[in-house]
Amino acid sequence: MPGVIETRLAELGVTLPDAPAPAANYVPYVVVGDLVFVSGQISAGPDGLVTGKLGADMGVPEGAAAAKLCALSLLAQCKAACGGDLDRLKRVVKLTGFVNSTSDFTDQPKVVNGASDFLVEALGDAGRHSRSAVSAAALPLGVAVEIEAIFQIG
């Protein structure tokens, strides 16, 4: 039976993906006390990788949609860290967003808002977090966005 958070996600028409496996020599998350540190999750959805460079071949709305996909993978990793019980999630503590963008693109915060806005919509006040949104000259596999997170669990 789905918990409160997954019921809310279903109301939003969202299904969490399976937690992505790491692509290199690292773990997808580390639990330290009541914190879960989730490795960077790249913009990937049911149709594959979302690639592109903001300011060149991609605009803010497409970038924000890519950031939301990162947030879904972050929640999937948190769920895995919680043994499948996403209701153990107490709050989103911090996001660090990396945006594949041109040197003159300055709307990285608007792109990462795709993840932030979704987490607040899905989790309410527990989704409010501190955040960084920075430019990257390139990201793995040419993806548009990569985001890492810290969650508090109970």
Give residue-wise pLDDT tens across range 39-50.
999 999 999 999
**What are the structural domains of the chain?**
27-153 (3.30.1330.40)
Report pLDDT digits (tens) over 23-41. Answer: 899 999 999 999 999 999 9
Q: What is the pLDDT of residue 78?
A: 98
Residue type, 132: S
User: For residue 121, what are the contacts with CB-CB under 8 A and spacing of at least 6?
Assistant: 12, 127
Q: How far apart are CA 5 and CA 112, in angstroms?
A: 22
Residue type, 149: A
Closest CA to 9 of 50, 65, 68: 68
How many Cβ atoms are within 10 Å of 55's Cβ, its own excluded? 20
